[in-house]
Amino acid sequence: MERTQYPSLAGRTVIITGGASGIGEAIVRAFAHNGSKVAFLDLQKDVGEKLAAELSAGGATVKFVQCDLTDIAALRAAFVEIKAAFGPAAVLVNNAANDRRFEFLDVEVDDFDWMMAVNLRHVFFACQAVIPQMRELGQGAIINMTSGAWVRGVPGLQAYTAAKAAIVGFSNSMARQYGSERIRVNALAPGMVITPRQRELWYQDESKIAEGLKVQSIPEEISMDDVANACLFFASDDSRMITKQMLLVNGGII
């Protein structure tokens, strides 16, 4: 896929959570290709270090920080470390998530709390950590990854969809509060993106993918790059007057 170049992204510090694999990896690669200074957080040490080394060898400015995003103290420390290395962040992509399935009647309090921690809580505190950095710059763009699953109401994902719907409300509130400071906040909702993890866990049967394609207006698989390209647009100055929006990248689900 040919990727659009956004001159406004060159040299800007971009922070991406959950960037070592899947959609996050595609987002890391997209910003690196646009000449941004890319820092990404992930728990997967070997995979993260390998990606950072590959992109750095190709001339990109990339930094990997191993971080358990459920540890808010570690998250805050990572943002301080990134600022010291690359300067204040102009872009934050809150991508990290886990769409673990549960039988609703079997969900325990610990299960629910864990799902909120990995899907919602770190989004809140990552935004809190980045706002002072964006204030230094006098502008910024935050992209919070939600999901088309909460819009459709996918069974078995009640905890996940609760967190993902909450991200939209949170994003709207942030956009209203910080728009006057030229800090934009938008939500991005992917549809059925068959990442390697998704294929391993939920889509081993090709018929499930075929069923998903049938309800899309465009009956083609949504790629990780499709989502990454939407992130680039939301982060760039080309979308300078777009805030408090949720964009569905889902092939036009019927």
- Residue (of 57, 48, 61) closest to 10 by Cα position: 61
Confidence of residue 202 (pLDDT cuts 50, 70, 90): low
Q: Which helix (H) or strand (E) holds 40?
A: strand 37-42
Predicted TM-score of the model (pTM):
0.95
Could you read off the pLDDT of 114-141 as tens digits, one per residue?
Answer: 999 999 999 999 999 999 999 999 999 9
Measured CA distances, 83 to 55, 162, 253 (Å) = 20, 32, 40
- Residue (of 49, 77, 79) closest to 62 by Cα position: 49
- Residue (of 197, 170, 171) closest to 47 by Cα position: 197
**Domains of the chain, CATH where assigned:** 7-193+223-249 (3.40.50.720)
Could you read off the pLDDT of 148-169 as tens digits, one per residue?
Answer: 999 988 888 999 999 999 999 9
Could you read off the pLDDT of 59-114 as tens digits, one per residue?
Answer: 999 999 999 999 999 999 999 999 999 999 999 999 999 999 999 999 999 999 99
Among this protein's residues, is 6 annotated catalytic? no
d(CA 94, CA 149): 17
Q: What is the pLDDT of residue 70?
A: 97
Catalytic pick from 6, 160, 178, 203? 160
